[in-house]
């Protein structure tokens, strides 16, 4: 064993001497059983090293039994399917890859275990289109975040989802903290990020008149933006379907038949599928899927993040994305001795080691989002939100958006990020299995990076099909990058609305008063390449229930519209998954 391995073992044993550490197939593997999840994560982090493909941390948390939510449907609908490419996961990575592959004449199938696309972290994020200023130039995060950021203008035009680019401001409260701003400014040249500059308070106020009273300088990053992540996800999926991809919802990959380093088939709850190549885009489950395929070199350690949505009336107070530098925690005056200061600058510059988080983000709908925090959890599907987290985030972010109050909160949600121990994206062709492509560790800034990751995955899939399967893969000359525009009443002039309502009175029937959404827009969402008849799917597509009253008024009306359109009873319409019943039956006749 090498010296560096011995050193790692020593450090890991300082956490718990009972942990077994071995080197296997180029990976460092940890096994054992412990009582403290945070210590298990710390042990995993100590194992990271460039000499390995990655860390396999199989230390079990005593008393914790992981429970994966799986669809309850069991049939043979897709049994015997033989797609060229099978994508596992209908989040941003999977759907962007499906769309990218639809540019070729290929049989592409995407399976998603949820009842809709964007069932995982892709619908539970802040929607910031990140600049990626603090990544190292050779990281996967830099490569894909940078390219992904560049792609958003064209994508939003083609796919017709909301996106704005008002910039990102990193603010500091004391002159000495400018060291950090200038260090990041220098990094922007290494990373080829255009237009970054250090600005003073006056210029900051020109962009953001309500910037906090203590902010003296800021790093202005003009390429920062925000978008609607679930609308983006739905748009990618719909455009992929328009161009020939088959999207199969409520379909989970449960196992694989692998022989001589090759996946022969993928077992699902809806039959066995025989793909030529598999794309693993399963978010927090990418390590489980890689394990099924015999290609596991990494471990996902789920990391929770809670975001808080504030009322539109305070949306005007921050019009871009703004966060305070991590060193401002010392206080606006920069209290603390020189060692504390140096340490805090070092921490801020090595910020890529953790998830991006704690910012104030304007949204495409005019609200403000604050958050998220970052907490390690053993549970890959734990999306509960607790009051103390909400309080902590509000307390912190009220320092940045000084005008907001706790009573402005209208909703909050929690998502689970999917970092690997290497804290970088693991996007690569299979190492031990020839016909799998891994898209793992895609945590923040993964929503920004997904379209760029998809370009590589699609390129590698085509190369594999040509070089290893003897296929001649042709361009799909009928590929249509555009997703048709649907009427959005709120953005129309009174004259335009009048005309539309005369043509179709359904647009004159307002269902959601808070967001001003009409019956016509809900019916449009159902008349799409990927119609999903659940309350949440409609909410994501056209926003009824997203306003101040959070669906208190409009949900019964939306239920009625869905039941009528589907030709079923009200009880059959679910909130999100098949078991999320809303109505059990009539109480009065």
Ligand X SMILES: Cc1cc2nc3c(=O)[nH]c(=O)nc-3n(C[C@H](O)[C@H](O)[C@H](O)COP(=O)(O)OP(=O)(O)OC[C@H]3O[C@@H](n4cnc5c(N)ncnc54)[C@H](O)[C@@H]3O)c2cc1C
Residue numbers annotated as active site: 130
Binding span for ligand X by CB under 6 A among 26-34, 108-116, 322-330, 535-543: 108-116
Pairing mode, if any, of strands 277-280 and 85-88?
A: parallel
- CA 151/CA 96 separation, integer angstroms: 12
> Of 41, 447, 462, 546, which lies in the binding site for ligand X, with binding defined by CB under 6 A?
447
Q: Which of 118, 489, 543 is nearest to 364 (CA)?
A: 543
Question: Which CB, 148 or 520, lies closer to ligand X?
Answer: 148
Question: Min. distance of Cβ 527 from ligand X in angstroms?
Answer: 24
Rounded to a whole number of angstroms, the minimum distance from the CB of residue 294 to ligand X is: 16
What one-character DSSP code corresponds to residue 256?
A: E
281 binds ligand X (CB under 6 A): yes
Residue 485 DSSP code: P
Nearer to ligand X (CB atom), residue 93 or residue 328: 93
# binding residues, ligand X (CB under 6 A): 42
Least distance between ligand X and beta carbon 232 (Å): 10
Closer to ligand X by Cβ: residue 171 or 256: 256
Residue 270 engages ligand X in binding (rule: CB under 6 A): no
State which residue, 31 or 267, has the beta carbon closest to ligand X.
Answer: 267
Query: Using CB atoms, what's the residue nearest to ligand X?
Result: 446
CA dist 38 and 59 (Å) reads: 12
Q: List the one residue from 232, 285, 317, 412 that touches ligand X (CB under 6 A).
A: 285
Which of 27, 59, 88, 193: binder of ligand X (CB under 6 A)? 88
State the binding string over 116-155 for ligand X (x if CB under 6 A, else -).
Answer: ---xxxx-xxxxx-x-------------------------
CB contact at 8 A, 311 and 408: yes
Which token pair is 65? 């039994």
Sign of CA dihedral 255, 257, 260, 262: negative
Nearest Cα neighbor of 364 from 535, 126, 523 is 126
Q: Is 531 helix (H, G, I), strand (E, B) or coil?
A: coil
Contact 307, 412 (CB under 8 A): yes
Nearest distance from residue 62's CB to ligand X, in Å? Answer: 25
Question: How far is Cα 374 from Cα 358, in angstroms, rounded to an integer?
Answer: 9
CA 40 – CA 61 distance, rounded (Å): 8
Point out which residues pair with 574 in neighbouring strands. 581
CB burial class (10 A; 0-12, 13-18, 19+) of residue 81?
A: buried
* Continuous segment of H or E residues that includes residue 451: helix 446-467
Binding mask 226-265 for ligand X (x = CB under 6 A): --------------------------xx------------
Window contacting ligand X (CB under 6 A); options: 3-11, 82-90, 404-412, 563-571: 82-90
Instruction: Using CB under 6 A, list all residues that contact ligand X.
Output: 88-94, 111-114, 119-122, 124-128, 130, 252-253, 281-285, 305, 307, 372, 415-417, 442-448, 450
């Amino acid at each position: 064993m090498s010296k560096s391995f011995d050193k790692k073992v020593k450090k890991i044993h300082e956490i718990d001497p009972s942990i077994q550490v071995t080197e296997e197939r180029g990976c460092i593997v940890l096994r054992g059983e412990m009582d403290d999840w945070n210590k298990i994560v710390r042990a995993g982090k100590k194992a990271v090293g460039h000499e390995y493909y990655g860390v396999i941390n199989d230390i079990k948390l005593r008393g914790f039994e992981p429970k994966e939510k799986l669809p309850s449907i069991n049939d043979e609908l897709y049994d015997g399917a033989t797609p060229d490419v099978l994508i596992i996961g209908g989040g941003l990575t999977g759907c962007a890859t499906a769309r990218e592959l639809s540019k070729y004449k290929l049989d592409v199938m995407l399976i998603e275990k949820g009842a809709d696309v964007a069932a995982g972290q892709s619908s539970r994020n802040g929607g910031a289109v990140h600049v990626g200023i603090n990544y190292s130039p050779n990281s996967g995060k830099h490569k894909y975040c940078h390219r992904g950021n560049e792609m958003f203008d064209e994508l939003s035009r083609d796919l017709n989802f909301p996106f704005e680019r008002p910039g990102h401001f990193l603010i500091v409260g004391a002159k000495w903290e400018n060291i950090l701003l200038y260090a990041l400014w220098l990094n922007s040249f290494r990373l080829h990020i255009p237009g970054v500059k250090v600005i003073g308070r006056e210029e900051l106020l020109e962009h953001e008149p309500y910037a906090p009273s203590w902010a003296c300088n800021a790093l202005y990053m003009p390429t920062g933006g925000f978008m609607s992540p679930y609308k983006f996800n739905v748009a990618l999926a719909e455009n992929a379907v328009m161009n020939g991809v088959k999207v199969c919802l409520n379909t989970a990959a449960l196992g694989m038949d692998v022989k001589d380093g090759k996946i022969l088939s993928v077992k699902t709850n809806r039959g066995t599928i025989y793909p030529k190549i598999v794309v693993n885009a399963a978010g927090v489950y990418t390590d489980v899927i890689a394990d099924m395929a015999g290609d596991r070199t990494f471990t996902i350690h789920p990391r929770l993040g809670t975001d808080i949505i504030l009322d539109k009336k305070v949306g005007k107070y921050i019009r871009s994305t703004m966060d305070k530098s991590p060193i401002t925690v010392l206080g606006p005056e920069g209290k603390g001795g020189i060692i504390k200061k140096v340490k805090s600058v070092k921490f801020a510059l090595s910020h890529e080691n953790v998830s991006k988080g704690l910012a104030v983000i304007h949204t495409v709908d005019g609200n403000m989002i604050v958050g998220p925090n970052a907490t390690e959890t053993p549970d890959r599907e734990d999306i509960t939100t607790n009051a103390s987290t909400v309080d902590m985030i509000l307390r912190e972010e009220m320092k940045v958006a000084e005008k907001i109050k706790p009573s402005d909160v209208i909703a909050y949600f929690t998502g689970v990020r999917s970092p690997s121990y290497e804290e970088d994206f693991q996007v690569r062709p299979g190492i031990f299995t020839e016909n799998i492509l891994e898209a793992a560790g895609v945590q923040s800034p993964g929503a920004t990076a997904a379209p760029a990751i998809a370009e590589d995955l699609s390129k590698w899939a085509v190369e594999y099909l040509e070089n290893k399967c003897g296929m001649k893969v042709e361009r799909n000359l009928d590929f249509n990058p555009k997703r048709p525009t649907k009427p959005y009443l709120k953005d129309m002039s009174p004259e335009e609305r009048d005309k539309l309502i005369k043509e179709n009175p359904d647009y004159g029937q307002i269902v959601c008063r808070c967001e001003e959404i009409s019956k016509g827009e809900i019916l449009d969402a159902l008349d799409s390449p990927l119609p999903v008849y659940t309350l949440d799917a409609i909410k994501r597509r056209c926003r009824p229930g997203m306003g101040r009253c959070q669906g208190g008024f409009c949900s019964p009306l939306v239920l009625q519209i869905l039941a009528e359109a589907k030709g079923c009873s009200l009880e059959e319409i679910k909130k999100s998954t098949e078991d999320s019943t809303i109505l059990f039956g009539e109480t009065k006749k």
